[in-house]
Amino acid sequence: MEQVVVIVVVLVALTFDYTNGFHDAANAIATSVSTRALTPRVALVMAAVMNFAGAFLGQAVANTVSDIIVPGGSATHGLVVVLAGLLGAITWNVITWAYGLPSSSSHALIGGLVGAAIASGSLVHWSVVLGKVVIPMVLSPVVGFGLAFAMMLGVMWAFRSASPSRTNRGFRLAQTVSAAAMALGHGLQDAQKTMGVIFLALLTGGFVNSGDSLPIWVIVASASAISLGTYSGGWRIMRTLGRRIIHLDPPRGFAAESVAASVLYTTAFVFQAPISTTHTITSAVMGVGATKRFSAVRWGVARSILIAWVLTLPAAAAVAAAAYQILKLIFRLP
d(CA 297, CA 286): 5
Nearer to another protein, 165 or 209 (CB): 165
β-partners of residue 124 are 69
Q: What is the DSSP letter of 211?
A: T
> Minimal distance in Å, beta carbon 148 to another protein?
12
CB-count burial class (<10 Å; 0-12, 13-18, 19+) for 14 = buried
> Minimal distance in Å, beta carbon 164 to another protein?
7
Q: Which stretch binds another protein (CB under 8 A): 76-84, 247-255, 259-267, 269-277?
A: 247-255
> Minimal distance in Å, beta carbon 231 to another protein?
19
Site string for another protein, 84-103 (x = CB under 8 A): --------------xxxx--
> Minimal distance in Å, beta carbon 91 to another protein?
15
Count of residues engaged in binding another protein, rule: CB under 8 A: 29
Label residue 188 left, alpha or beta by phi (over 0 means left) and psi (-120 to 50 means alpha). alpha
296 part of the interface to another protein, by CB under 8 A: yes
Scanning residues 135 to 174, which ones bind another protein (CB under 8 A)?
164-165, 168-169, 172
298 part of the interface to another protein, by CB under 8 A: yes
Q: Which stretch binds another protein (CB under 8 A): 17-25, 109-117, 239-247, 306-314?
A: 239-247
d(CA 294, CA 242): 26
> Minimal distance in Å, beta carbon 246 to another protein?
5
Residue 55: what are its φ and ψ, rounded to 5°? -65, -20
Q: What SS3 class is residue 240?
A: coil
List the one residue out of 269, 133, 257 whose CA is nearest residue 188: 269
From candidates 127, 161, 209, 240, binder to another protein by CB under 8 A? 240
d(CA 47, CA 178): 11
d(CA 170, CA 176): 10
Query: Which positions lie near another protein, rule CB under 8 A?
Result: 34, 36, 98-101, 164-165, 168-169, 172, 239-241, 244-249, 252, 285, 289, 292-293, 295-296, 298, 300
